[in-house]
Amino acid sequence: MKRQYFIRTLAFLLAALMLLTAMACGKADSGNDAVETTTAATTAPASDTTAATEATTLYPDDLPEDLRYDGEVITFLYREEIASEFTTDGMIGDIVNDAIYESILSVEDRLGVDIQTVLRKGHTTDVRAEYMNHIENQVMAGDDTYDWTDMMIGNATVRAQTGVYRNLLTLENLDLSKPWYIPNMKETVSIADRLFFVSGDASLGYLKSAFCIYVNQKLAENCGAGDLNAIVKEGKWTVETVAQLAAQAAQDLDGNGLFDLNDQLGFVSHDSNHPRGFIASTGITLFTKNEDGSHSYAFGTDRDHTVCTALSTLKTATQGSYFFNGTNANTNQIADYQKISSMFISGQIMMISAEMDDVIACGYHEMEDPYGVLPYPKYDEAQENYYTSSRSTHNAFLMPVTCPNPEMAAAVLEALGASNYTKVLPNYFELALKTKYSADSETSEIFDIIHDSMVLDFGYTYDNAVGNPVGVFNNVLNNINAFSSTVKAQARMIDKLYAKMIETVEAKCTE
């Protein structure tokens, strides 16, 4: 990819020169109100704008300024189906795609490396195992092709136990305290003083998968919902509020006394994975961390019971609330999933659970009715903060132990994260979501709340590795009357599997 950098950079500079010339000849007031909501620099005085521009040219990371690798190749393996969140073949006139392309080229030029990406199918349920087996077979055969491998974070916690991935806490060129990583990963998702995966702005995956709620503002107005953005900003967006509004908006269109996909619905959980977003958003703690760094299974407190009762009411006993028991990761359920998307677009659903990029992936930006975005709700107003998690299918990077130069690979990932933080996120978040696809500036503020409240929950992240504690959460939502017995039935097995995981990691993962 590096060989094209000079040509692209020259074209970029020429385009910038033409733009500046046009601006000098044009009017000061363009009449485009949307521009005012993107960044402070767009409305700053000329001297401030110049200073801001000069500041952004500096590398925000702490890698040595003279760090160079003389044409070395760094190879990433990435899931083919979602590769556009990480890489691209060239400029196509799309602001996000082109920002990713320029960001990669700039890192190649800065570090003197050639970043290559190998694509392989591995996202849908029918090909995931083969994808992960391929990586481990390569490593076991001594193949050092891959410096970094992309993997769903929910599967990374299982495959990390194989002993073929490096402990990333040993790498000096990764600084997990920087803002281009999900905060506090060392504290929240390391095990046995090891961390085998990282997520952050080197890929847009975690942000695109962030749980949120999209709302049809016309239906909200018609049912008397009030100013939902104001409710969020005042800290009053709670599970109870969602349930109340779901009932207000519901209409039994076929008159059969039931609320299903033939009716107008107030709230729809669009995917069987989406209820998991309530774990973080309502402050439920599946595991607590002990002083020695170990974890203890903790789900089942009185507060957990109270919160789950409210969520169970929303799921099973609220008119106008519908939870779809399917997922877009299963090819056999795609048709029903898309039907629900179409219902929201056509104005038959007021609120729909989503992942942030559904505004584009599901076509919500093309709907005629005005739409907005809301975070997942808090449990109650006493809960101080909103918390947002991402679907555990989102990207994580792991480094095979066969990586020939770990510090070089770490430097490339660090530089990519820093570059994307300054070049790609402003385009994806500020422009694609907040200007091009977002209805108004108030919606932009809600996007900020979602972005700034991102967390990684240990229990959700390690769910596949420790006996499915998230499954216990799902089961009690379906039968809240069996809360205590359901929690107790699984607790011993979860504790046992956690202990086994730690034992395996300490025995196999020596890198």
> What CATH architecture applies to the domain 2-14+57-207+392-437?
3-Layer(aba) Sandwich (3.40)
SS3 258: coil
| Structure confidence by residue, pLDDT tens digits, 269-313 | 999 999 999 999 999 989 999 999 999 999 999 999 999 999 999
Pair 84, 420: CB distance under 8 Å: no
Asked whether the beta carbons of 234 and 304 are under 8 A apart, the reply is: no
The reported pLDDT for the residue numbered 511 is: 63
Tens digits of per-residue pLDDT, 437-464?
Answer: 776 777 788 888 998 899 999 999 999 9
Average pLDDT score, the chain: 88
How is residue 388 annotated by DSSP?
A: B
Summarised one tens digit per residue, pLDDT across range 20-44 is 333 333 333 333 333 222 223 323 3
Class of domain 211-387+458-508: alpha beta
Pairing outcome for strands 265-269 and 349-355? parallel
Average pLDDT over residues 182-207: 95
Q: Is the pTM of the predicted complex or chain greater than 0.75?
A: yes
Cα dihedral 372→377→378→380 (10° resolution): 100
Short-list 401, 351, 396, 342, CA closest to 371: 351
Burial of 284 (0-12, 13-18, 19+ CB in 10 A): buried
In tens, the pLDDT along 313-355 reads 999 999 999 999 998 878 889 999 999 999 999 999 999 999 9
Distance, CA of 54 to chain centre: 30
Our measurement of the distance from residue 166's CA atom to the centroid of its chain's CA atoms, rounded to an integer in Å, reads 23
Residue 14 has pLDDT above 50, yes or no: no
Give me the pLDDT at residue 150, please.
98
Describe the crossing of helices 302-316 and 483-508 by its angle, rounded to 10 degrees. Answer: 110
Contact indicator for 260, 250 with CB cutoff of 8 Å: no
Whether 323 and 314 have beta carbons less than 8 Å apart is answered as: no
Q: With a cut of 90, say whether residue 196 has pLDDT above it.
A: yes
Instruction: Give the other-Cβ count within 10 Å of 32's Cβ.
Output: 9
Q: Give the burial string for 186-217 (b: 16+ CB within 10 Å, else e).
A: eebbbbeebbbbbbbbbbbbbbbbbbbbbbbb
Task: Considering the chain, tell me which residue range(s) the CATH 3.40.190.10 domain(s) occupy.
Answer: 2-14+57-207+392-437, 211-387+458-508
